Structures are given as C-alpha cells and as structure tokens.
C-alpha cells in the first residue's frame, strides 16, 4: 500500500507560482515562439510583435464630409461674413462635388459641406451661404490619420474584429502571432468508456475531454486528446512519456486521489518531479503539478464538476504564460445581494450517528484555510455597480450551472463568511 501521508499540499496560488517559476516556454522574440498568420485568420491570436503600417492614410488630400470642393484663393482676402459671387462659377473649374472619404478633385484644396450649398437642377451651378475658415478646411492631409511606420497594434494584444480592421488599413496582410500551445489530454480509469457505445455495468462515459477541448480552444491552444488509458502503471507511464514528447503542456485526468488504483502521481514521481499533490480547495483537492522532461503536467480531478474548475485554476495560467499573457485569474468586485447558502443542500435530514470508519477525516489542518467553490449570478445595477446573488447547488448541479460567476469561500479558524452588502472578488465563468 502506498504512503498517502507525504503528499505535497500547496494553496492554489502557491501551486501556480511554483509551476510558473519552474516551467520554461519560448520567450518573446524566439523564432520558436511565433509564426505568421493571415490577418483574416488571426482572430483570437496573440500578437508576437508590434504591427506597423506600411502606408500613409490618407495617401492624398481627402474630403472629410459630403461637400463641394473649392479653391481657397476665391475666399482669401474677403471680410468676415463676406461671400464670393458664385454666379459665374463653372463646375469642374471653380467647384466640384467631393464626398466623404474620397480624394479631393485635382487642383482643389478646400471643402464646404453640402448643407451650406444650393446646387442648380442641372448640377452645373452653385450658391453658398457659408465660407470655409482656412485653406484645407474640410479636408484631411496626407498621413494625418496614419503614417508609414505607425504602430497599429502592440505585442501581446489579442486580435479581434476591430484590431484586424485597424491592421488591414495599414495594408498589412499577415501578422506575427504567438504559436499556439499544444496541450495533450490523457483520460485514465478502468471505468471509463467513450460516448456512443455500449455501457457495461459500473462504467462511466468519459466527458472531461469535451470540457478540456472547449477550454483549450477558447484559451488559444491546440487540444490533443489521447485514448482512454486503463489503471495500469506502465501504460500510464508510457502515455505520459508520449504526451510530453508531443505537447507543450500535458493534462492527466483522474487517478490522483487515494484509491488503490490511483497511480498517476506515483508514475509522475518516477518520470520527473511532483511539485504538489494536494491543494486547499474543493472540489479539486487532489489536483497536482509535475515536471516531466521539462514539460508541465497538470493533474486534474476525475469528477466532471471538479475537472472544469481545476482546468481553470491550473491549466489556464500555463497557457496564458505560454502565450505571453498574464496568468492571473480574471476577478471582478461584486456586492453581495444575499448570504451564501449553508453547506447543506436540499431538505434537512435527521442526524444519524457518525461511524469513524465511514467518515473521511478533515482535510483542513487546525490552523489552515480551505476554500469551497460557491456560485453566483452577477448582474449590473442601474447605478453601474455589480450585484452578486449566491445560488444553491453543488458544482455540476443544474442550479450551479445557471450561475455566471463563482467565488472561493474561505473556511477555517476564526473566518466568517462575507455578509450581505460586502464586496467580494469573483471569477466569471
């Protein structure tokens, strides 16, 4: 029987800091860290370097609004409020139509907005009721909006529709982006089967790979899902070796608690170094971090409710660091509109005597803080502040799935739960 008393327990923050301090990813500027991507295919990608304009904008004198183009010389020297006699003006010589964003007709240097112009029915003659203020009024000078070499987007910026459009205005067709991290997922367990086939008694359908795939793609990585690996130490070890040779980050699912067939951490100890094997929260208490041949291996909970959160807690920071982004969790302040529900859900049952052999000892040390995940619905109030209403339900329950945020509620000696009206920092789902 393996000795479970020597697990390395760290807080969520300590575990992430320890792994980030040890793992090595390509640094910005390394050729291995970036690739060129067409602008039209770069949405969601992280820019590896600043992107500069290749052109001036506009590249010639441009009209700002729907106007007529005129010669400033016709107005120069006139007294304030005085207008030139336009009765003899000829279209194409003294004036011409000029529209928004269009290059000014050759030879014309100033514009008068069309609302101050009366055009004859044959569109050959005009009368004006207002004068321009100076030469080039109503126009944009060449390079006034953008010059060749101007920075259009910064390294570390995530390309969205607006960023892509801004880049394209500089006549840029391809941009340097951070290489996507390849992330392998190894599901383990004799009890697992793939969806769609026969389900023998005692088997469970493997679904965590779907959660994994969705999150990895959302976070900008390339998911690589392995076949289910049985609870066999040698097969687990072989899968870890194969995954570490193929991927930048490896996720090892399940097999990390205290069951007789939980082999994963032992195999990682043989192959590399385990940085932690217990954390201070539930679900996901038996999350783990290891390094195998320099590749970070994330051990996540087997139960689906815990798997989702432990991916957020321990995989996301690594992927963000790989992409050159901040690994810090995204938290926002909300004011509690109601108290957190009690630990007990559903109808209260009559207490029955506890039998020592049927009760797991507390995982919280006498002087430690343990965090439970609580769910909230966050909404904006008319005054612009955010309100958070805690919801009942355990992770994975229908009630919890209706929430759009969660909070890590501390529990320990002398700790009181936040009260109604308190501001707490939550993570959005």
DSSP 393-415: --TTSHHHHT-SEEEEEEESTT-
- Does residue 232 share a domain with residue 128? no
DSSP states of 368-387? --EEEEEEEEEEE-TTS-EE
- Does residue 246 share a domain with residue 197? yes
- Does residue 202 share a domain with residue 171? no
CATH of the domain at 204: 3.40.980.10
| Structural domain contains residue 386 | yes
Mean of pLDDT values over 329-342:
92
CATH of the domain at 123: 2.170.190
| Structural domain contains residue 252 | yes
Domain that holds residue 186: 4-25+181-329
Gap between the Cα atoms of 4 and 262, Å rounded: 11
Q: What's the count of helices (H) and strands (E) in the chain, helices before strands?
A: 8, 27
DSSP run (H or E) holding 15: helix 12-22
| Structural domain contains residue 30 | no
- Does residue 285 share a domain with residue 296? yes
Give the residue from 195, 187, 243 showing the smallest Cα distance to 212: 187
Residue 100: its pLDDT value, please? 96
- Does residue 154 share a domain with residue 53? yes
107: left (phi over 0), alpha (psi -120 to 50) or beta: left
Residue 341: its pLDDT value, please? 84
- Does residue 193 share a domain with residue 173? no
3 state DSSP class of 307: helix
| pLDDT tens sequence across 231-279 | 888 999 999 999 999 999 999 987 455 544 455 677 788 888 999 888 8
Count of domains forming the chain: 4
Whether the predicted pLDDT of 395 surpasses 80: no
- Does residue 301 share a domain with residue 245? yes
Whether the predicted pLDDT of 13 surpasses 60: yes
Percent of the chain clearing pLDDT 70 (strictly above)? 90
329, 356, 376: which is the final residue of a domain? 329
Residue 348: its pLDDT value, please? 41
- Does residue 102 share a domain with residue 225? no
| pLDDT tens sequence across 86-115 | 999 999 999 999 999 999 999 999 999 999
Gap between the Cα atoms of 402 and 397, Å rounded: 9
Cα Dmax for the chain: 108
CATH of the domain at 169: 3.90.105.10
Residue 356: its pLDDT value, please? 52
Counting Cβ atoms within 10 Å, is residue 102 exposed (0-12), middle (13-18) or buried (19+)? middle
DSSP states of 186-251? EEB-TTEE-TTS---TT-EE--HHHHHHHHHHHTT-EEEEPPPB-S-HHHHHHHHHHHHHH-SEEE
Residue 199 structure tokens: 């389900």
DSSP run (H or E) holding 16: helix 12-22
Whether the predicted pLDDT of 301 surpasses 90: no
Gap between the Cα atoms of 216 and 65, Å rounded: 46
230: left (phi over 0), alpha (psi -120 to 50) or beta: beta
| pLDDT tens sequence across 403-413 | 999 999 998 88
CB 65 within 8 A of CB 113: yes
- Does residue 311 share a domain with residue 206? yes
- Does residue 323 share a domain with residue 228? yes
Counting Cβ atoms within 10 Å, is residue 222 exposed (0-12), middle (13-18) or buried (19+)? middle
User: If you average pLDDT over every residue of the chain, what do you get?
Assistant: 88
Whether the predicted pLDDT of 352 surpasses 90: no
329, 354, 382: which is the final residue of a domain? 329
Mean of pLDDT values over 2-24:
83
- Does residue 323 share a domain with residue 190? yes
| Structural domain contains residue 391 | yes
Residue 313: its pLDDT value, please? 95
Instruction: Give the model's confidence band at 345: pLDDT under 50 very low, under 70 low, under 90 confident, else very high.
Output: very low
pTM, two decimal places: 0.83
- Does residue 341 share a domain with residue 325? no
CB 11 within 8 A of CB 17: no
DSSP states of 19-49? HHHH---PPTT-GGGEEEEEGGG-TTPBBSS
| pLDDT tens sequence across 183-224 | 999 998 888 888 887 888 778 889 999 999 999 999 999 999
Gap between the Cα atoms of 402 and 376, Å rounded: 9
């Amino acid at each position: 029987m393996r000795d479970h008393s020597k697990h390395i327990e760290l807080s969520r923050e300590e575990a992430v800091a320890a792994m980030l301090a040890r793992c090595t990813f390509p640094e910005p500027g390394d050729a291995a860290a970036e690739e060129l991507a067409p602008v039209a295919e770069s949405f969601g990608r992280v820019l590896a370097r600043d992107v500069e304009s290749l052109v001036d904008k506009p590249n010639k004198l441009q009209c700002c609004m729907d106007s007529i183009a005129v010669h400033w010389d016709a107005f120069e020297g006139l007294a304030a409020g005085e207008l030139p006699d336009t009765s003899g003006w000829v279209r194409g010589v003294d004036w011409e139509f000029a529209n928004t964003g269009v290059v000014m007709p050759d030879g014309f240097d100033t514009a008068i907005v069309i609302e101050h112009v009366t055009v004859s029915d044959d569109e050959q003659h005009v009368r004006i009721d207002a004068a321009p203020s100076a030469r080039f009024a109503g126009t944009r000078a060449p390079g006034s909006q953008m010059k060749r070499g101007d920075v259009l987007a910064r390294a570390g910026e995530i390309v969205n529709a607006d960023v892509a459009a801004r880049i394209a205005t500089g006549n840029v067709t391809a941009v340097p982006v951070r290489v996507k991290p390849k992330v392998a997922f190894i599901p383990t367990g004799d009890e697992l089967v793939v969806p769609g086939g026969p389900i023998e008694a005692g088997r469970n359908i493997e679904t965590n790979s779907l959660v994994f795939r969705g999150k990895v793609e959302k976070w900008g990585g390339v998911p690589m899902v392995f076949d289910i690996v049985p609870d066999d130490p040698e097969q687990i070890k072989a899968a870890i070796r194969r995954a570490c040779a193929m991927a930048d980050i490896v996720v090892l699912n399940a097999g990390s608690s205290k069951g007789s067939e939980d082999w994963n951490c032992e195999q990682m100890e043989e192959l590399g170094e385990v940085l932690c094997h217990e954390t201070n929260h539930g679900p996901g208490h038996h999350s783990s971090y290891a390094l195998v041949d320099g590749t970070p291996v994330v051990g996540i909970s087997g139960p689906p409710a815990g798997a989702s959160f432990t991916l957020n807690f321990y995989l996301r920071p690594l992927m963000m660091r790989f992409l050159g982004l901040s690994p810090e969790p995204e938290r926002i302040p909300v004011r509690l509109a109601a108290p957190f529900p009690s630990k007990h859900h559903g109808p209260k049952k009559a207490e029955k005597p506890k039998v020592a052999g049927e009760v797991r000892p507390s995982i919280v040390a006498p002087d430690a803080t343990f965090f439970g995940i609580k769910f909230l619905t966050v909404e904006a109030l008319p005054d612009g502040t955010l309100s958070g209403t805690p919801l009942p339900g355990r992770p994975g329950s229908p009630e919890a799935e209706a929430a759009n945020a969660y909070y890590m509620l501390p529990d320990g000696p002398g700790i009181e739960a936040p009260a109604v009206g308190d501001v707490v920092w939550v993570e959005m789902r």
